[in-house]
Structures are given as structure tokens and as C-alpha cells.
Chain A
Amino acid sequence: MLRNTESSYGLIAITLHWLMAIAVVGLFALGLWMVELSYYDPWYQRAPKVHKGAGILLLLTLVLRLVWRLGNPRPRPLPSHSRLAVRTASLTHALLYVLLFAVMLSGYLISTADGRSIDVFGLFQVPATLTGLPNQADVAGDIHLAFAITTLVLSGAHALAALKHHWIDRDRTLLRMLGRG
């Protein structure tokens, strides 16, 4: 089933979730790696291009995911979950969405600080909008890194919580997101 139901996630939601999980971890690693490359490294120019292009695609995916989420039923929390667990999970999910937006927006503001557009794998260009703010590239860069780390830490907590439900509580939380719940 492509769409969500009251008790399960559909294929689209599941695919978007895992695709973004891979992209977020991948972009984080790529970002940390690329800024340490030496000038003569073959990836010195290519890695940032891939990072930017993939970042824009991730942003589009995030928008698509939120639109899909709004147009679909939300699987109800499992009855075994405490109110605190449900609330914490909802808050974490909301924070992750906000952080992802902030990370990608700040990344966009680094690359477009002087009016240059971002090329997405030669497919299309994302034009600059906000430019020339005081120290824009540097401030956006600091925010980009700080929020990216926060996102990864929170994603880690999110993943640990899922594993805790799977192995300790032995409920369907993780299985539902794997389409087997």
C-alpha cells in the first residue's frame, strides 16, 4: 500500500523516511570530509558540488514528505506507549523537521551569499535570494555546522529510541517503519 492507514505507514512514507535517513547521514559525513580535503585532492571541487546538489534535493524531498504527511492519515501511537513516550516522540519528530529545514536553509545561504546560484547536478539552478548580509557566508556556516551536529545527535536519539522499542519493549514501532508492522 502506498498510502498510510490509521495503523500502518504506506510505502511512500517509508521510502521517504529511509531515503532521507541515508541522505542526512551521508551529507553530514560528506560535509565533514570535504572541508578537510587538500587543495590538490581530486574531490576538492567535486565534493562540495555533490554536497550542495544533494542538499537541495533533500530539501525538496523534505517538502514532499511534509506535504505527503499532511495528505495522509497518521498511524496512531501504539497502545503500549506511555503518554510521555508519545509526547517525546512527537516533539523529537517536529524538532527534526525544523532542524533539517534550518540546516539546509543555512547551507543555501552560504553558497548563495554573493549572489551565485546553486547548481543541482546540472539539472537546474537554485538562484540566490538573500545576499550580502553582514558576514553572511561565515555566520550561515557556523549555524549550518551547529544545526547539522544537533540534527545528527537528535537523529541518533531517535534511532536509539526505535531500537529500544524493538529490542527492549519488543513492540512494533520499528517494524512499522520497515513496512512489516
Chain B
Amino acid sequence: MIKPILAATLATALLLPGLATAVEKYVIDTEGAHAFVQFRVKHLGYSWLYGRFNEFSGTFTYDEDDPSSSRVEVLINTASIDSNHAERDKHLRNEDFLDVKTYPEARFKSTSYKETGINKAVLTGDLTLRGITRPITIQVQKIGNGPDPWGGYRRGFEGTTTIALRDFGIDFNLGPAARDVELTLSVEGIRQ
């Protein structure tokens, strides 16, 4: 009688950690800078202006058995905006745009994640920018996952979305072609 109980206990012991780790937790690799919060906006309608936020942090979970339970949260230091022009960045930080003294942080917190095809998914969540929280939808591409050469395990995604500046209280008139900003979130997470 002892043998089956032992076997069952062993099986449970082996199985439980497996169940517990089905949800993988990842920290976005900002330390190694394998993650980017990029934006682009049309300049006068004639060209694209690119910029990024240099300082942010975030985590996400991913469950291969139940991808829809995956979650992501990213916190952005708005003062770290960088469009490769110090004077422009100074303007972007002031009250006309991000007003970073009043709103030093922007945040994205997911509310749902749905895989829609091979390596494709739709992520929805709340973006808080300039103190205004609005739901946004991000088109996600699963880039890849697997072991890294240094003993860790990594998983990466890239998502894009478009936001209207006015929705987040930014009214400075940059012209009719520059009312929307495209955001690209390109992240690689290291499994914890």
C-alpha cells in the first residue's frame, strides 16, 4: 500500500512545480537595453520624426498553455524623451507637451491579451499619459523566445499602436498631419 501513495506523492511533487511555473514571469531587459519605447510623428506631413523614451521599466507574464492570461505593465519616465535634439526635447518636456514636472510618469497596464494568428496578438490596456488614462489597443507581433547563450531564457514582442495627442491633453498645434503619434513598444523579457 505504501508504494502507490509514494508514487502519487512523488507525481504530485513533480507535477505541482510544473503547474506553478506554467505562468512565466519576465522582467523587461532595460538593463541590457533590449527594449525600446519608440514613437514617430509626421513632421508637417512631409516626413517622419522619430524619438524614444530612454528610461522605463516593466514586467510581463506569459503562459503558453493559456496565452490570454498574459499580462504586461510598463512604467515610463516621461522626462527621458529623446528625439535627438536637446532644444526640441526641452520643449517636449514642458507644458505644451508632456509637462513632465507635473506628470513625471506614463504607464501602460494591460487588461487583455488575445492571440489572433501565428505570432500575432492583440493587446489591450490602459495608457496613462499626462494624468489621463485611456484604453488603447496594441497590435502585437511575437518575435521569438528561447534560451539565451548565458544561461537565461528570453521572450520578445513588438507592439504598435496609434494615439491621438489631443486624447491625452496635448493641444499644441503641430499641424493637421501631426495630430496622431505612432508608438512602438519593442520588448525583450528575461524569465525570472
Binding site for B on A (CB under 8 A): 38-40, 110-111, 113-114, 116, 135-138, 141
Q: Kindly state the separation between the CA atoms of A111 and B88 in the bound complex, as whole angstroms.
A: 10
Q: Check B173–A40 contact: CB distance below 8 A.
A: yes
- Is the CB–CB distance between B90 and A141 below 8 Å? yes
CB distance from A165 to the nearest CB of B (A): 42
| Contacting pair A137 B174 (CB below 8 A) | no
Closest to A132 in B: B86
| CB-based closest 10 A-B pairs | A113-B86, A114-B86, A137-B90, A137-B86, A39-B174, A138-B90, A141-B90, A39-B173, A137-B87, A38-B173
> A40 to B175, Cβ gap below 8 A?
yes
Contacts of A113 in B (CB 8 A): 86-87, 90
The size bracket of the interface on B is 10 to 19
Q: Does B191 contact A (CB under 8 A)?
A: no
C-alpha gap A116/B87 in the complex (Å): 10
In the complex, the answer to whether B89 meets A137 with C-beta atoms within 8 Å is yes
Cα(A25)–Cα(B85), bound, Å: 28
Max chain A C-beta neighbours (<10 A), residue from B85, B87, B89, B175: B87
* Residue contact B79 to A135, C-beta cutoff 8 Å: yes
Which residues of B are found within 8 Å of A141, using beta-carbon distances?
90
B49 to chain A, nearest CB (A): 13
Contacts of A137 in B (CB 8 A): 86-87, 89-90
Which of B86, B172, B173 makes the CB contact (< 8 A) with A136? B86
Q: How far is the CA of A141 from the CA of B173 in the complex (A)?
A: 23
Q: How far is the CB of A34 from chain B (nearest CB, A)?
A: 12
Q: How far is the CA of A39 from the CA of B44 in the complex (A)?
A: 10
